[in-house]
Structure 1
Amino acid sequence: MKIKKGDTVQVLAGKDRGKQGRVIDALPRDGRVIVENLNLVKRHRKPTPIRDSSRMGGMQMTPGGIFDKPSPIDISNVMLVCPTCKQATRVGIHVKEIKGETLRVRYCKRCNEEVDR
Structure 2
Amino acid sequence: MTKLHIRKGDTVIVLAGKDKGKTGKVLQVLVEKERAIVEGVNMVKKSQKPSAKNPQGGIVEQEASIHISNLSLIDPKSGKATRVSIKHEGKNVIRISKKSGEEIK
Preserved contact between residue 85 and residue 97 of structure 2 (Cα < 8 Å): yes
Tell me which of 58, 64, 76 is aligned to 1:65. Answer: 58
Q: Tell me the distance in 2 between the aligned counterparts of 1:115 and 1:62.
A: 42
Q: Tell me the distance in 2 between the aligned counterparts of 1:4 and 1:91.
A: 12
Tell me which of 66, 69, 88 is aligned to 2:81. Answer: 88
Q: Which residue of 1 aligns with 2:67?
A: 74
- 1:102 aligns to 2:102 (yes or no): no
Pairwise CA distance, 1:61: 6.5
**TM-score, structure 2 normalization:** 0.90
Deviations 1:53-75 (A, max 9, x none): xxxxxxx9722111101000000
Q: Which residue of 2 aligns with 1:44?
A: 47
Q: Which residue of 1 aligns with 2:102?
A: 113
Give the number of the structure whose alpha-carbon radius of gyration is greater.
1
Residue 62 of structure 1: SS of its match in structure 2? coil
**TM-score, structure 1 normalization:** 0.81
The percent identity for this pair of structures is: 43
Deviations 1:1-41 (A, max 9, x none): 01000000000111000110000001111100000011011
Q: Which residue of 2 aligns with 1:2?
A: 5
| Count of residues in correspondence between the two structures | 102
Name the CA shift for 1:67/1:5 in 2 (closer, same or farther; >3 Å): same
The unaligned stretches of length 5 or more in structure 2 are none
Q: Hey, which bits of structure 1, 4+ residues long, moved more than 6 A? A: none
Pairwise CA distance, 1:84: 2.1
The unaligned stretches of length 5 or more in structure 1 are 51-59
Deviations 1:32-52 (A, max 9, x none): 00000110110011223x3xx
- 1:11 aligns to 2:11 (yes or no): no
Letter in 2 for 1:113: E
